[in-house]
């Protein structure tokens, strides 16, 4: 009997497949809303208008794709790194079913326009309670498995997993406290500037704990496994971890620069945003250091391509983000397309590449097989890389153009482009390019799904003992 | 102390680390009222405006329109005076937004009359050929659901009269949304 048979992978498999399914849905909605921005006739019915679908897109890729990918990978990692069986396999199965029910209800409610309006926090209060229950169920398994681990030392991936468990719970609950009016409607208990401040404390730390600590947990595990080289510096990962989870929580108000929120809160957020470069780059340096003497694997090892490009985009993201927090640059690019360009470098470049590496590594191992096609994995890599670069670069250029046109003043202080439509019409070619980038990315993702599907399909049927 | 061998202590330490910035920049300012101005000059929402605001939220208008004017010369030239803390002080939730696919709406009520909004919402491209805003003509066909209006006013703690509620009879969702848009920029007593 191989040691693998002692682990419980049922929920791991279910969450991995759920993640890919909702990922496809989320990306398709993304392509549709990208088309709608150029062709308003694609707003078919009230249920399919841009204003309702944009939250559906963000919620589907965050809570439908990224979160269940983490459930799958984290349930795998806590077992492997603890050398022990999942603490509560039955609970994990229940989490899986409840999760998929919740996502279906979430999608329906967003179609119907039930929204709290706060970004990434749109779901109404009954679903928020569902999310909280799911998170508790998930956390019990993670913490329970770590408690009964047989490996005394917790590897750095487990730290990031625990930070994700705690952090998501705090910010999600903190931002969603509201007073219900009916089953489908509630009002935030916070008002005005305070509501905005709480929202972006949540918003930026959803980035911290879903798009940063979550993929970092995967990154720190997969990188040494894929390269077969030891982690460059354990000390650096300790310093990086604690300074990251300390500093992130101070930075939310950089989303509120030049709003009526008191200036000192904005300034503190800007300062901490700049500081965040250090702990972020601790992981980048750890990644590149581990690659020292192994760089030829960038040619020969498809897992290394995903993980190294992923950490490279993380590095660029964590330089670009802080620079956006600086007042002068914020004045130019805030509210423009630059911001979705930035977000998609992080989500498509860093998060999805890292999750892809994680699933490519894990799926063949839990099914006792090899990946179906390395060729297809390489094709997947190039398509998502090209699609994402087209998306981000196009949006950065367009964002600067928008910002520059909004800013343009005559010598006498009057607006050069006084009619907003003069600044909107030039978006269209850029937005069409974005759709093209999105479709290429989607094609790459479908290659990924197919490759995973065939890997599972061609796996040997397990023998019952 | 090896915190990486003690998960419970690790979780407690991580939670405390997360709470420092959380409390100092978000929740302590909230409780000491740092971002809470005097409400003396704020005009409360009428029931019709509350219902209109809820339609604005339901349709996700905030995905493309901000409601905050920055204190920058090019911004005030386009949208008017910088937004003040008072103007959104009673807003639950806030609707400042994060993206301007369309223009800022913080003062849109002072720029166009109700009739303009009816025409524009019904068919944006009849007024701006290059506009990409979805048409909301169907809001004209939907009677305003007032089942929860009074409960909303209670929860939000806005004062109202029987006539205010009476005024909702026969209104469409379009009427409510326009009533809300016309209020934007008129939050404060002169």
Model confidence at A461, pLDDT cuts 50, 70, 90, reads confident
| Helix, strand, coil distribution of chain A in percent, nearest 5 | 75, 5, 20
In whole angstroms, give the CA distance from residue A134 to residue A138. Answer: 6
Q: What is the average pLDDT value for chain A, to the nearest integer?
A: 96
Q: Is-contact A217 A74, C-beta < 8 A?
A: yes
Q: What is the mean pLDDT of residues A77-91?
A: 97
Q: With an 8 Å Cβ cutoff, are A190 and B59 in contact?
A: no
Q: With an 8 Å Cβ cutoff, are A265 and B15 in contact?
A: no
Q: What is the mean pLDDT of residues A287-304?
A: 96
Q: Is B102 left (phi over 0), alpha (psi -120 to 50) or beta?
A: beta
Q: What is the mean pLDDT of residues A156-183?
A: 97
In whole angstroms, give the CA distance from residue B55 to residue B51. Answer: 6
B99 SS3 class = strand
Residues in A closer than 8 angstroms to B94, CB to CB, are 191-193, 195-196, 199
Q: With an 8 Å Cβ cutoff, are B21 and A247 in contact?
A: yes
A394 SS3 class = helix
Q: Which of A187, A272, A422, A435 to mutate to test the interface with B (most CBs of B within 10 A)?
A: A187
Render pLDDT for A321-368 as a digit per residue (tens, 0 to 9).
999 999 999 999 999 999 999 999 999 999 999 999 999 999 999 999
Of B89, B20, B101, residue with least CA distance to A336: B101
Of A164, A174, A170, A245, residue with least CA distance to A211: A164
Contact of B36 with chain A, judged by CB distance below 8 Å, is answered with yes
Residue B66 has pLDDT above 80, yes or no: yes
Contact of A143 with chain B, judged by CB distance below 8 Å, is answered with yes
Q: With an 8 Å Cβ cutoff, are B10 and A159 in contact?
A: yes
- pLDDT of B143: 97
pTM exceeds 0.80, yes or no: yes
Neighbours of B159 (CB within 10 A): 9
| B41–chain A nearest CA distance, Å | 15
Q: What is the mean pLDDT of residues A154-179?
A: 97
Residue A463 has pLDDT above 80, yes or no: no
Contact of A164 with chain B, judged by CB distance below 8 Å, is answered with no
Of A319, A385, A377, residue with least CA distance to A350: A385
- Paired with A303 in beta bridges are none
Residue A465 has pLDDT above 60, yes or no: no
Q: With an 8 Å Cβ cutoff, are A246 and B70 in contact?
A: no
Tell me the HSE value of A235 on the side-chain side, using a 13 A CA sphere. Answer: 0
Model confidence at B1, pLDDT cuts 50, 70, 90, reads low
Interface ipTM:
0.97
Residue A251 has pLDDT above 60, yes or no: yes
Q: Is-contact B96 B85, C-beta < 8 A?
A: no
Closest in A50, A185, A339 to B134, CB measured: A50
Contact of B98 with chain A, judged by CB distance below 8 Å, is answered with yes
Name the phi and psi angles at A103, rounded to 5: -70, -40
Query: Residue A295 gets which letter from DSSP?
Result: T
Q: What is the mean pLDDT of residues A23-39?
A: 98
Q: With an 8 Å Cβ cutoff, are A197 and B35 in contact?
A: yes
Contact of B156 with chain A, judged by CB distance below 8 Å, is answered with yes
Which residue segments constitute the domains of chain A, with CATH numbers given?
A: 1-189 (1.20.210.10), 250-457 (1.20.210.10)
| B34–chain A nearest CA distance, Å | 7
Q: With an 8 Å Cβ cutoff, are B78 and A40 in contact?
A: no
- pLDDT of A392: 98
Render pLDDT for A32-52 as a digit per residue (tens, 0 to 9).
999 999 999 999 999 999 999
- pLDDT of A1: 39
Residue A6 has pLDDT above 90, yes or no: no
Render pLDDT for B111-152 as a digit per residue (tens, 0 to 9).
999 999 999 999 999 999 999 999 999 999 999 999 999 999
- pLDDT of A464: 61
């Amino acid at each position: 009997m191989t040691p693998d048979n002692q682990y419980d992978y049922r929920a791991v498999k279910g969450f991995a497949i759920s993640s890919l399914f909702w990922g496809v849905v989320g990306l398709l909605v993304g392509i549709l809303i990208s088309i709608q921005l150029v062709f308003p006739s694609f707003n078919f019915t009230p249920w399919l208008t841009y204003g309702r679908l944009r939250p559906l897109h963000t919620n589907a890729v965050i809570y439908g794709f990224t979160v269940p990918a983490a459930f799958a990978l984290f349930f795998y990692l806590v077992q492997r790194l603890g050398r022990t069986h999942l603490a509560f396999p039955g609970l994990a199965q229940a989490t899986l079913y409840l999760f998929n029910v919740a996502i279906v209800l979430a999608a329906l409610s967003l179609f119907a326009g039930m929204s709290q309006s706060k970004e990434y926090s749109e779901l109404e209060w009954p679903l928020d309670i569902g999310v909280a229950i799911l998170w508790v169920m998930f956390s019990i398994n993670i913490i329970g498995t770590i408690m009964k681990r047989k490996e005394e030392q917790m590897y750095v991936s487990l730290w990031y997993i625990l930070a994700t468990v705690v952090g998501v719970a705090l910010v999600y609950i903190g931002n969603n406290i509201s007073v219900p009016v009916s089953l489908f409607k509630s009002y935030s208990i916070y008002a005005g500037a305070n509501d905005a401040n709480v929202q972006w404390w949540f918003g930026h730390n959803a980035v911290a704990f879903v798009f940063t600590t979550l993929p970092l947990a995967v990154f720190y595990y997969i990188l040494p496994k894929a390269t077969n080289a030891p982690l460059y510096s354990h000390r650096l990962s300790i310093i990086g971890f604690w300074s990251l989870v300390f500093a992130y929580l101070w930075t939310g108000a950089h989303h509120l620069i030049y709003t009526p929120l008191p200036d000192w809160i904005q300034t503190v957020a800007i300062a901490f945003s700049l500081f965040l470069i250090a702990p972020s780059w601790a992981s980048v340096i750890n990644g590149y250091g581990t690659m020292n003497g192994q760089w030829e694997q960038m040619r020969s090892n498809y897992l290394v391509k995903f993980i190294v490009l992923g950490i490279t985009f993380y590095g660029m993201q964590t330089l670009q983000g802080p620079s956006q927090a600086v007042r002068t640059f914020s004045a130019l690019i805030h509210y423009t397309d630059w911001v979705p360009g930035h977000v998609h470098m992080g989500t498509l470049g860093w998060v999805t590449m890292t999750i892809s590496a994680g699933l490519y590594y894990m799926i063949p191992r839990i099914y006792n097989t090899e990946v179906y096609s390395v060729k297809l994995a390489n094709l997947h890599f190039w398509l998502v890389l090209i699609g994402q670069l087209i998306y981000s670069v196009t949006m950065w250029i367009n964002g600067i153009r928008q910002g520059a046109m909004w800013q343009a003043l005559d010598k006498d202080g009057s607006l050069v482009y006084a009619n907003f439509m003069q600044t909107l019409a030039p978006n269209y070619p850029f937005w069409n390019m974005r759709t093209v980038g999105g479709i290429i990315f989607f094609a790459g993702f479908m290659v990924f799904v197919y490759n995973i599907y065939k890997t599972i399909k061609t796996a040997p049927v397990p023998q019952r003992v | 102390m090896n915190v990486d061998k003690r998960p419970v202590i690790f979780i407690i330490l991580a939670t405390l680390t997360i709470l420092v910035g959380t409390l100092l920049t978000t929740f302590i300012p909230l409780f000491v009222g740092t971002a809470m101005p005097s409400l003396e000059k704020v005009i409360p929402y009428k029931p019709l405006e509350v219902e209109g605001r809820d339609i604005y939220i339901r349709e996700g208008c905030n995905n493309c329109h901000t409601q905050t004017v920055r204190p920058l010369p090019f911004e005030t030239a386009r949208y008017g005076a910088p937004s003040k803390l008072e103007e959104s002080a009673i807003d639950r939730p806030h609707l400042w937004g994060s993206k301007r696919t369309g223009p800022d709406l913080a003062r849109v009520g002072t720029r166009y009359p109700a009739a303009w909004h009816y025409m524009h919402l019904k068919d944006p491209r009849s007024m701006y050929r290059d506009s990409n805003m979805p048409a909301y003509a169907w809001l004209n066909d939907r009677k305003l659901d007032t089942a929860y209006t009074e409960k909303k006013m209670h929860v939000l703690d806005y004062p109202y009269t029987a006539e205010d509620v009476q005024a909702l009879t026969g209104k469409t969702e379009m009427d409510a949304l326009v009533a809300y848009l016309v209020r934007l920029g008129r939050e404060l007593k002169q």
